[in-house]
A and B are shown apart, each in its own frame.
Chain A
Amino acid sequence: MTGLKIENVSMRFDLPDGGAVQALKDISIDLQPGELLSVLGPSGCGKTTLLNIVAGFLAPTAGQITLNGKRVHGPGPERGMVFQQGALFEWMNVRENVGFGPRMKGMAAKPKAEIVNHLLDVVGLRDFKDKAVYELSGGMQQRVALARCLANEPDVILMDEPLGALDALTREKMQGLVLKLWKETGKTIVLITHSVEEALLLGERLIVMAPRPGRIHK
């Protein structure tokens, strides 16, 4: 009973004008630990909705998500999330952002600092650890977000177009970093993207979604 199971998930919500939207219809995905799944699809196909359901921010109207046999009811630290951008805390510096998860767990200062320093080495931001996050470039910010997510040691990492806002060169470097981290840590990763190239490059498995209603396109 290990791995992430998405079982027959459907999402349908009412609109104020009396209509309804079928955002997702009957989606089932089975992910083994250590798999990297790319979810590809045009905008509006429900891929972010699906990710939000997996993360626990939304409750599906039908079906269920289980992680390692436990049903998902809300957000939790075992499912880390990397957002497109703007999810870093500006009131904390790079070090504090990365150390946020361990701090929430009440980890002592010393082991926390070790984790933070190690991860900043991994993403190559050691020299920037006392900088304010708004002083960093977009690519550096996403590296901080990645390190912050890893610091919490989640079982699954959910990425919602994390490289979408980056320029082509930075993006290529970041893709290499994601791939390297995946190989080194062996985490289960769900990556959402609208770039075919990125999906093919990163995805060990690839799912293409179609819109209205959001479903897996075979």
Chain B
Amino acid sequence: MAVLAALWGEFLTVLSAIAAALPWISGYILLILALMVVWSGVRRLLRPKHDYSSLKTVTFGDESAVVSNAVASVVSIVLIFVFWGAFTGSALLPGILHVPGPFSGTGTFDYTLTIPDGTTDNATVTVLVHPADVTTDDPVVDPGDGIALNDSIAIGSYRSALLRVADNDVVTRDAGAQITAIDGKDIAPGESVRVSFGRVAMTPKGTLNIMPQTGWQMEPIWLPAPEAVWAQAISVATEGFRGATLWEHLGFSLFRVIVGFLLGALVGVPLGYAMGLSDWFRGWFDPIVEFMRPVPPLALIPLVIIWAGIGETGKIILLFLAALWIMAIAARSGVSGVRISKVHAAYSLGASRWQIMRHVIVPNSLPEIFTGARVAMGVCWGTVVAAELVAAQKGVGMMIMVASKFQSTDIVLMGVILIGVVGFTIDLGIRWLERLMVPWKGKG
């Protein structure tokens, strides 16, 4: 029961997070629809296309008439970068597109000090907001005269600071002086007042908490600007990170994936053939394969580390296991998928068993094996990154893990983008190889 209550609480937390994101999501969807309307208006002005699918009148519900709109793809990708730039104040984007950034520069507010005998006096606080990654001395101000004296403070952007403004006054807080108004507006402990550059709140003890506006832009530690990520990519590529350049990190990850995948395919494909061609082998390996297949390779990481350590051997064993079952199942279904009339035809044309294998079964299973290879490479790539997150000397996964510990979000983001690009490139490569080697795929 306690578990159920805890789960319900978690569920509510998730729901509220979704609810908080809803305005943004709906805004994005509205933007998509609006641009769709704009594009359909633009298209009417262009010269109409007259290829086969553009002449179809029924497109809603006809899947074959729905071809990816290249304009939408381009706009979608460009918009991602525009949003990214807008919310990070990127220099690549004209300033007009930036969302409001944090306040920077100098702002002032007045406070009113009331001393026990009822006399009041005003003084000015000068606040200098500077970039968070440099240290700046408090600005020098003329203290002025009267009971309350002027103060100054330097605050890094996105930060706030407590300031006991009464401490330098003629009558201090300990002597009973109290701040009763900010910029002429009354304030009491626990309340806050809007000032020209942000807000000023009063703690229960009467100290002022100065909070300059943070705006809508993300702090670089949360989300660095695109150019910062690019600069970091150049720097890691030329100077390296943690004793290895970007290419070495990438090379190590790719080496593990390729060796692991090749070993997995080298064992998995013959295993799949044996399972597809012999009832004994099918019976022998079915329980093993069917049990191992749903075990995510990530769950094997601890075991592999215990057995083989954190070196290359362990990682290659892990990737071998990740690829093995996928390739075995792909090869098995490739063999099972051969049309019996093709095998019969080959036999009655005088082919021997070996010739049937070489000229009918293997070519017939190639499309399935390529499909399996695409899946296996995807899984291997994901697994290697995860394995490197756990323990590695080199590799892109290790790179982003270590970078995150040093709060180098730009390297983390660069690594994530790189991992995506490499994964996509691998998939494109296998698809290209597939078109080259099995042009008959899906045409049997």
A residues within 8 Å of B by Cβ?
A: 55-57, 74-77, 79-81, 83-84, 86-91, 100-101, 104-105, 132, 134, 145, 148-149, 152, 154, 158
Query: Is B342 a contact of A57 with CB atoms below 8 Å?
Result: no
Partner of A75, one of B348, B359, B363: B348
Partner of B364, one of A91, A101, A105, A154: A91
Query: Is A104 a contact of B341 with CB atoms below 8 Å?
Result: no
Q: Which of B345, B346, B359 has the most CB of A within 10 A?
A: B345
When A86-B341, A89-B360, A89-B363 are in contact, do A100 and B348 touch as well, CB less than 8 Å?
no
B345 to chain A: which residues have CB within 8 Å? Answer: 81, 83, 87-88, 145, 148
Query: Is B444 a contact of A101 with CB atoms below 8 Å?
Result: no
B344 to chain A: which residues have CB within 8 Å? Answer: 55, 57, 75, 81, 83, 87
Query: Is B360 a contact of A152 with CB atoms below 8 Å?
Result: no
Number of residues of chain B lying within 8 A (CB) of chain A? 23
Query: Is B339 a contact of A86 with CB atoms below 8 Å?
Result: yes
| Alpha-carbon distance between A91 and B349 when the two chains are bound, in angstroms | 17
B440 to chain A: which residues have CB within 8 Å? Answer: 90-91, 132, 134
| Alpha-carbon distance between A76 and B347 when the two chains are bound, in angstroms | 7
| Alpha-carbon distance between A74 and B366 when the two chains are bound, in angstroms | 28
Query: Is A89 a contact of B359 with CB atoms below 8 Å?
Result: yes
Smallest CB gap from A134: residue in B: B443
When A81-B344, A86-B339 are in contact, do A104 and B444 touch as well, CB less than 8 Å?
no
When A81-B345, A86-B341 are in contact, do A76 and B350 touch as well, CB less than 8 Å?
yes
When A55-B348, A76-B348, A104-B351 are in contact, do A90 and B359 touch as well, CB less than 8 Å?
no
B346 to chain A: which residues have CB within 8 Å? Answer: 89, 100, 104
B404 to chain A: which residues have CB within 8 Å? Answer: none
The binding surface of chain B is classed by DSSP as helix
Query: Is A101 a contact of B363 with CB atoms below 8 Å?
Result: no
Query: Is A105 a contact of B359 with CB atoms below 8 Å?
Result: no
B363 to chain A: which residues have CB within 8 Å? Answer: 89, 91
B16 at the interface (CB under 8 A from A): no
Q: Which of B363, B366, B438, B444 has the most CB of A within 10 A?
A: B444
Interface residues of B in 337-380 (CB under 8 A from A): 339, 341-342, 344-352, 355, 359-360, 363-364, 366
B287 at the interface (CB under 8 A from A): no
B27 at the interface (CB under 8 A from A): no
Query: Is B349 a contact of A152 with CB atoms below 8 Å?
Result: yes
| Alpha-carbon distance between A192 and B359 when the two chains are bound, in angstroms | 28
B116 at the interface (CB under 8 A from A): no
B48 at the interface (CB under 8 A from A): no
| Alpha-carbon distance between A166 and B364 when the two chains are bound, in angstroms | 25
Query: Is B339 a contact of A87 with CB atoms below 8 Å?
Result: yes
Query: Is B339 a contact of A104 with CB atoms below 8 Å?
Result: no
A101 to chain B: which residues have CB within 8 Å? Answer: 349-350
When A83-B341, A86-B341, A89-B363 are in contact, do A77 and B444 touch as well, CB less than 8 Å?
no
B439 at the interface (CB under 8 A from A): yes
| Alpha-carbon distance between A70 and B363 when the two chains are bound, in angstroms | 34
Query: Is B350 a contact of A152 with CB atoms below 8 Å?
Result: yes
9 example contacts (A-B, Cβ-Cβ < 8 A) are as follows A75-B344, A77-B350, A81-B345, A81-B348, A86-B342, A88-B342, A90-B444, A101-B349, A152-B350
CB distance from A146 to the nearest CB of B (A): 12
| Alpha-carbon distance between A196 and B339 when the two chains are bound, in angstroms | 29
Partner of A132, one of B349, B352, B360, B439: B439
A158 to chain B: which residues have CB within 8 Å? Answer: 348
Partner of A86, one of B347, B350, B439, B444: B444
Query: Is B352 a contact of A104 with CB atoms below 8 Å?
Result: yes
Given A76-B350, A104-B359, 14 extra CB contacts under 8 A: A55-B348, A56-B348, A74-B347, A86-B339, A86-B341, A87-B339, A87-B342, A101-B350, A104-B350, A105-B350, A132-B440, A134-B440, A145-B345, A148-B345
